[in-house]
């Protein structure tokens, strides 16, 4: 056993907010204090802050898209290293930030071997990926039929073939429409596949996933990403969910109003008012940080608009039977009014939204900037003077076209740990993570208390993963392989033959090679249970 | 009789061209069904005995070497790439490819703004197909089956010998500038201009012969990409050439031309090319991973006199210090190959040869070196 003595403990789930206490670890788990302690190791926690380890809910860290990015960045070592490092470096950096569980934001079923090649190399962390389905021909076919069992079985089968943890919808239906030269459809416009509209796709998939009891609800990337005035469309999408459980990602990119000239303004206040009412929804922010970034997305139509606006070259690779993978270099410049408004919009959303267990910290790496900027963002949230300093260093539009100056709030440590650990773990259905209750995994981060918050969050004194110290004084020990987090929802396997037959008509090779294949064996896997079974 | 078609490793289409049949309780590989695979499968000989204790011999060489070079050549499965990077890191070696043409052209096509897509998503038959270089049929026998045999009639061929002039002609014609190019060029330019979308296939082996042409091709592609929905696809000359690039980039950030020093990687694709390194740097060992006989003659000549370790499925036809026989993914080993359009295909092991996987041999080398 191990005991961490006299640390200032934060455990949002159990209402522990900076209390000085001991935390006991037995093997991989948090344990109750033994009645007659003996033969244990003691770690001195005096002057330290102890919290559950970080849980990353949305970061593009693996697969084909990262490879595209590296093609853009191969002549620029610093940006390559920051935005698209190798998988082992990504794992190491997350561990150094105190994160032990990380999720890749999107993986195409067709290219999932490439994604898992990268995930398998992320030693020392538990990791997973979300399966892109919103433009998948098999699922569109099932959705058009309206047959709930068929939808369920298609989702389950695609998760199996891709080794996915959750269902990702990216501006669903728009990829299919784009390929067929149909202008970006609205929520109720036909996407060109029978009478399917985006509203129908979202509602039917969300209903199916919730019915299947997947640990994480549908992870939704909404339409009109990054466009001025898109808050109206975003709010429309939120209402379309009709109170069902879902996660909406990088919402900073959807909280824009527009001024008289069609330019950007922050609509954070209106968006927060709308989303606060829906208690079954969770969000991550996608905060931007000044500097070079890379857009990486399956949202071909939005990126096509953006590349026409920026005149930057893009890489767009369209995939048979599904959507595409697209990348485009971006730069957020402090002197640029749009960048300043985007930065302020993210901050404003974070500061106005009251519940840190439903709004999570991300930069949508590398779309908004690198995940290694988290300590910087936390510092802006916790320290108003640091935030004001940043506002003054940006184009004045950041202040004048947002409501940020009215936000006096400073995040507390409790809130920071809730938004980086407890909240995302809960949304992901990882009941053993994000808290320090007896039986939870002993995934911990410990910081030496200091006034420089950015420095503190950049350098945990130590990080523990499942009962073993894996980072100490900035040095990483990666002697464990880490595990791939998976779901295997229940389905009617009698439908397998018809799914195979249908898939074979949509691809140019034998379905036996599709994705990971049906018999893929993960070297280190952790299956997270789903709550419902097919009767 | 039961037949089973399985994916073939011999070209970058990885069609299901190897046929197995069920014979009295077990599956037997009978024959490939395309001419290229038939020829390559016939050459494959897992029986040739290798030297005794090749790993120890190779370790001795690498332990003595102050500056080794690791060369990846021909086709190999993706799983090998990471092990090759690990060996380069462990020995502070140069790590290079024998050819990056396909990779360079592919990357440039994409950055020029042309779309790319997987084969089933190619534009409909009404659209235009342009082939730069020779007919891919020779290196990719089933190419036209994927693209659509009906499109053959609509192809604009830009032959290797006059690729520069032809592309220049197409560019000028497209811009409406008066030129004195041939009627064929005028006709081709007009067909391309009329097409709503199309696809350009660039045969890497052909274009690589003309550096000037490559620049002209890329400018032309950029102009196409700016105007309409045009797709571009490189046709690599060896199986999994693009997969090796992708694997290298995932492991190091770069696809070619690097040297490892402690934990750092220095990348200089212009200086760190096989010929230049052999000529200008003090090398004392060369490790070749992949089909060594695939190397061009001029490189083989430059290698003469270097202490050489080769890990390859076939016994090299030239003198080498150590040869570690390896299995071939898709025949006697499992492994992942990237189809030319980026789809990863997991190849199965069909027969047993008892050979050690390349990545395991490389791991043994690393272990020996560290000891």
What's the pLDDT at A524? 94
Structure tokens at A11: 């455990």
Phi, psi of B343 (to 5 degrees): -85, 120
Q: How far is CA B217 from CA A346, B101, B181, B203, B208, in A?
A: 43, 13, 17, 12, 11
Flag whether pLDDT at B205 surpasses 80: no
Q: Which residue of B has its CA nearest to A122?
A: B251
For chain B positions 12-71, those within 8 Å of chain A (CB to CB) are 14-16
Measured between CB atoms, which of A85, A113, A507 is closest to B344? A113
Q: Which residue of A has its CA nearest to B117?
A: A318
H or E stretch covering A148: helix A148-162
What's the pLDDT at B178? 65
Whether A489 is covered by a domain: the verdict is no
Whether A267 is covered by a domain: the verdict is yes
CB contact under 8 A, B346 and A517: yes
Structure tokens at A164: 């996915």
**Does B246 contact A at CB distance below 8 Å?**
yes
Is residue B210 very low, low, confident or very high in pLDDT (cuts 50, 70, 90)? low
Q: Which residue of B has its CA nearest to A80?
A: B253
Measured between CB atoms, which of A87, A111, A324 is closest to B344? A111
Long-range contacts of A87-90 (CB under 8 A, 24+ apart): A87/A61, A87/A62, A87/A118, A87/A119, A87/A121, A87/A122, A87/B250, A88/A121, A88/A122, A88/A123, A88/A478, A90/A61, A90/A122
The 10 Å Cβ neighbour count of residue B58 is 25
Measured between CB atoms, which of A86, A117, A508 is closest to B78? A117
How far B250 CA sits from the closest chain A CA (Å)? 6
**Does B5 contact A at CB distance below 8 Å?**
yes
What's the pLDDT at A88? 95
What's the pLDDT at B20? 78
What's the pLDDT at A164? 98
Is residue A171 very low, low, confident or very high in pLDDT (cuts 50, 70, 90)? very high
Instruction: Supply the angle between the helices B358-370 and B78-91 in degrees, to the nearest 10.
Output: 10
Q: Which residue of B has its CA nearest to A119?
A: B250
Domain residue spans of chain B = 53-99+241-370, 101-235
CB contact under 8 A, B249 and A113: no
In sequence order, the β-bridge partners of residue A169 are A220
The pLDDT of B71-89, averaged and rounded, is 92
Residue B4 to residue A407: CA distance in whole angstroms: 67
CATH number at residue A385: 3.20.20
User: Count H helices, E strands: chain A?
Assistant: 19, 24
What's the pLDDT at B318? 87
Is residue A256 very low, low, confident or very high in pLDDT (cuts 50, 70, 90)? very high
What's the pLDDT at B29? 67
Flag whether pLDDT at B18 surpasses 90: no
Task: Report pLDDT digits (tens) over A500-510.
Answer: 999 999 999 99
Phi, psi of A432 (to 5 degrees): -90, 0
Contact criterion met (CB below 8 Å) for B57 and B322: yes
What's the pLDDT at B124? 63
Highest mean pLDDT among A129-138, B122-131, B221-230: A129-138
How far B249 CA sits from the closest chain A CA (Å)? 7
Whether A83 is covered by a domain: the verdict is no
CB contact under 8 A, B118 and A86: no
Is residue B150 very low, low, confident or very high in pLDDT (cuts 50, 70, 90)? confident
Flag whether pLDDT at B50 surpasses 70: no
Contact criterion met (CB below 8 Å) for B158 and B166: yes
DSSP-assigned letters across all residues of A59-113: E--SSHHHHHHHHHHTT-HHHHHHHS--HHHHHHHHHHTTEEEEEEEEE-STTHH
If one compares B298 and A402, the residue with the highest pLDDT of the two is A402
Task: Report pLDDT digits (tens) over B154-180.
Answer: 788 887 777 788 888 888 877 777 667
CB contact under 8 A, B267 and A71: no
Contact criterion met (CB below 8 Å) for A119 and A523: no
What's the pLDDT at B51? 67
User: Please, what's the b/e burial string for A110-147 (b: 16 or more CB within 10 A of its CB; e: otherwise)?
Assistant: bbbbbbbbbbbbbbbbbbbbbbbbbbbbbbbbbbbeee
Whether A18 is covered by a domain: the verdict is no
Flag whether pLDDT at A409 surpasses 90: yes
The pLDDT of A97-126, averaged and rounded, is 97
Chain B residues close to A513, C-beta within 8 Å: 7, 345-346
**Does B251 contact A at CB distance below 8 Å?**
yes
A153 class by beta-carbon count within 10 Å (0-12 exposed, 13-18 middle, 19+ buried): buried
Measured between CB atoms, which of B7, B78, B119 is closest to A508? B119
Measured between CB atoms, which of A84, A313, A508 is closest to B253? A84
For the B53-99+241-370 domain, the top CATH level (class) is: alpha beta
Is residue B279 very low, low, confident or very high in pLDDT (cuts 50, 70, 90)? confident
Residue A531 to residue A490: CA distance in whole angstroms: 9
Q: Which residue of A has its CA nearest to B82?
A: A121
A198 closest CA partner among A228, A215, A226, A178 = A178
DSSP-assigned letters across all residues of A408-472: -----HHHHHIIIIIHHHHHTT-TTSSS-STTSB--EEEEE--S-HHHHHHS-SEEEETTEEEEE
B119 three-state secondary structure: helix
- Strands A484-486, A475-476: pairing kind: unpaired
Q: Which domain holds residue A357?
A: 102-363+370-427
If one compares A205 and B100, the residue with the highest pLDDT of the two is A205
How far B51 CA sits from the closest chain A CA (Å)? 33
Residue A234 to residue A223: CA distance in whole angstroms: 7
A325 closest CA partner among A57, A59, A68, A137 = A68
Number of independent structural domains in chain A: 1
If one compares A38 and B352, the residue with the highest pLDDT of the two is A38
Measured between CB atoms, which of A86, A179, A321 is closest to B250? A86
Work out the mean pLDDT of chain B and round it to a whole number: 85
Flag whether pLDDT at A470 surpasses 90: yes
The 10 Å Cβ neighbour count of residue A276 is 15
How far B307 CA sits from the closest chain A CA (Å)? 32
In sequence order, the β-bridge partners of residue A197 are A190
Chain A residues close to B229, C-beta within 8 Å: 181
**Does B111 contact A at CB distance below 8 Å?**
yes
Instruction: Supply the angle between the helices B101-111 and B211-227 in degrees, to the nearest 10.
Output: 30
Substitution target in B118, B233, B350, B359 with the highest count of A β-carbons within 10 Å is: B118
DSSP conformation class of B256: S
Task: Report pLDDT digits (tens) over A208-235.
Answer: 999 999 999 999 999 999 999 999 999 9
Flag whether pLDDT at A353 surpasses 90: yes
Flag whether pLDDT at A448 surpasses 80: yes
């Amino acid at each position: 056993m191990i005991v961490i003595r006299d640390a200032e403990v934060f455990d949002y789930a159990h209402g522990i907010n900076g209390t000085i206490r001991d935390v006991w670890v037995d093997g991989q788990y948090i344990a109750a204090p033994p009645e007659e302690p003996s033969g244990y190791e003691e770690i001195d926690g005096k002057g330290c802050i102890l919290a559950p380890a970080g849980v990353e809910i949305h970061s593009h860290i693996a697969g084909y898209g990262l490879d595209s990015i590296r093609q853009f960045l191969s002549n620029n070592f610093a940006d390559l290293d920051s935005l698209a490092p190798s998988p082992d470096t990504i794992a190491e950096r997350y561990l150094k930030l105190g994160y032990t569980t990380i999720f890749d934001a999107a993986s195409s079923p067709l290219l999932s071997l490439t994604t898992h090649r990268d995930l398998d190399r992320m030693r020392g962390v538990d990791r997973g990926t979300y399966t892109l389905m919103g433009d998948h021909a098999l699922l569109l076919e099932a959705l058009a039929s309206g047959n709930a069992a068929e939808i369920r079985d298609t989702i389950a089968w695609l998760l199996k073939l891709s080794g996915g943890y959750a269902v990702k919808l990216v501006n669903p239906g728009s990829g299919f429409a784009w390929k067929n030269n149909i202008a970006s459809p609205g929520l109720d416009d036909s996407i060109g596949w029978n009478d399917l509209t985006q509203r129908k796709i979202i509602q039917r998939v969300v209903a199916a996933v919730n019915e299947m009891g997947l640990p994480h609800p549908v992870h939704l990337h909404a339409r009109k990403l990054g466009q001025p005035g898109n808050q109206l469309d975003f709010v429309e999408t939120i209402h379309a969910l009709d109170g069902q459980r879902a996660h909406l990602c990088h919402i900073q990119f959807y909280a824009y109003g527009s001024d008289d000239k069609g330019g950007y303004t922050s609509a954070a206040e209106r968006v927060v008012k709308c989303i606060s009412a829906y208690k079954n929804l969770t969000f991550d922010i996608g905060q931007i940080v000044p500097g070079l970034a890379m857009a990486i997305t399956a949202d071909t139509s939005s990126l096509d608009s953006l590349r026409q606006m920026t005149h930057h070259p893009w890489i767009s690779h369209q995939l048979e039977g599904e959507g595409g993978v697209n990348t485009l270099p971006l730069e957020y410049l402090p002197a640029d009014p749009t960048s300043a408004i985007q930065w302020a919009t993210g901050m404003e959303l974070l500061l106005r939204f009251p519940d840190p267990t439903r709004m999570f910290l991300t930069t949508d790496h590398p779309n908004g900037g690198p995940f290694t900027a988290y300590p910087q963002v936390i510092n802006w949230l916790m320290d108003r003077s640091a935030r004001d300093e940043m506002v003054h260093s940006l184009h004045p539009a950041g202040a004048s076209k947002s409501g940020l100056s009215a936000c006096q709030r400073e995040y507390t440590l409790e809130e920071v740990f809730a938004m980086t650990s407890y909240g995302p773990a809960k949304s992901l259905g990882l009941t053993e993570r994000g808290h320090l209750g007896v039986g939870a995994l002993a995934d911990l981060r410990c910081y030496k208390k200091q006034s420089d918050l950015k420095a503190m969050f950049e350098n945990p004194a130590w990080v523990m993963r499942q009962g073993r110290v894996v980072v100490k004084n900035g040095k990483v020990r990666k002697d464990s392989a880490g595990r791939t987090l998976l779901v295997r929802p229940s389905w009617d396997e009698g439908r397998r033959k018809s799914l195979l037959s249908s898939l074979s008509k949509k691809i140019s090779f034998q379905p036996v090679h599709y994705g990971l294949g049906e018999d893929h064996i993960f070297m280190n896997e952790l299956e997270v249970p789903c709550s419902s079974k097919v009767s | 009789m039961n037949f089973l078609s399985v994916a073939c490793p011999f070209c970058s289409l990885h069609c299901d061209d190897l046929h197995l049949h069920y014979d009295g309780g077990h599956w037997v590989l009978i024959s490939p069904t395309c001419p290229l695979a038939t020829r390559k499968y016939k050459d494959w000989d897992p029986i040739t005995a290798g030297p005794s204790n090749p790993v120890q011999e190779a370790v001795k060489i690498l332990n003595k070497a102050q500056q080794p070079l690791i060369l990846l050549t021909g086709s190999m499965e993706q799983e090998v790439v990471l092990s090759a990077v690990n060996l380069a890191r462990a020995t502070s070696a140069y790590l290079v490819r024998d050819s990056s043409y396909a990779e360079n052209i592919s990357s440039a096509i994409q950055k020029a703004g042309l779309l790319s897509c997987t084969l089933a998503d190619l534009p409909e038959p009404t659209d235009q197909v342009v082939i730069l270089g020779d007919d891919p049929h020779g290196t990719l026998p089933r190419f036209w089956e994927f693209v659509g045999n009906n499109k053959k009639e609509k192809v604009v061929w830009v032959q290797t010998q006059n690729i520069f002039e032809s592309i220049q002609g197409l560019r000028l014609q497209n811009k409406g500038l008066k030129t004195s190019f041939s009627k064929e060029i005028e006709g081709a330019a007009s067909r391309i201009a009329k097409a709503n979308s199309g696809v350009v296939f660039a045969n890497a082996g052909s274009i690589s012969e003309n550096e000037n042409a490559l620049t002209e091709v890329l400018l032309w592609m950029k102009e196409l990409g700016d105007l309409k929905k045009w797709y571009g696809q490189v046709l690599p000359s060896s199986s999994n050439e693009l997969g090796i690039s992708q694997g290298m980039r995932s492991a190091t950030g770069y696809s070619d031309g690097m040297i490892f020093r402690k934990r750092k990687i220095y990348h200089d694709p212009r200086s760190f090319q096989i010929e230049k390194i052999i000529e200008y740097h003090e090398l004392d060992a060369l490790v070749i991973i992949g089909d060594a006989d695939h190397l061009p003659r001029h490189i083989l000549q430059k290698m003469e006199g270097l202490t050489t370790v080769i890990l390859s499925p076939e016994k090299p036809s030239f003198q080498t210090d150590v040869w570690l026989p390896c299995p071939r993914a898709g025949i006697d080993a499992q492994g992942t190959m990237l189809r030319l359009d980026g789809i990863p295909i997991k190849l199965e092991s069909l027969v047993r040869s008892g050979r050690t996987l390349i990545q395991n041999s490389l791991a043994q080398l690393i272990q020996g070196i560290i000891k």
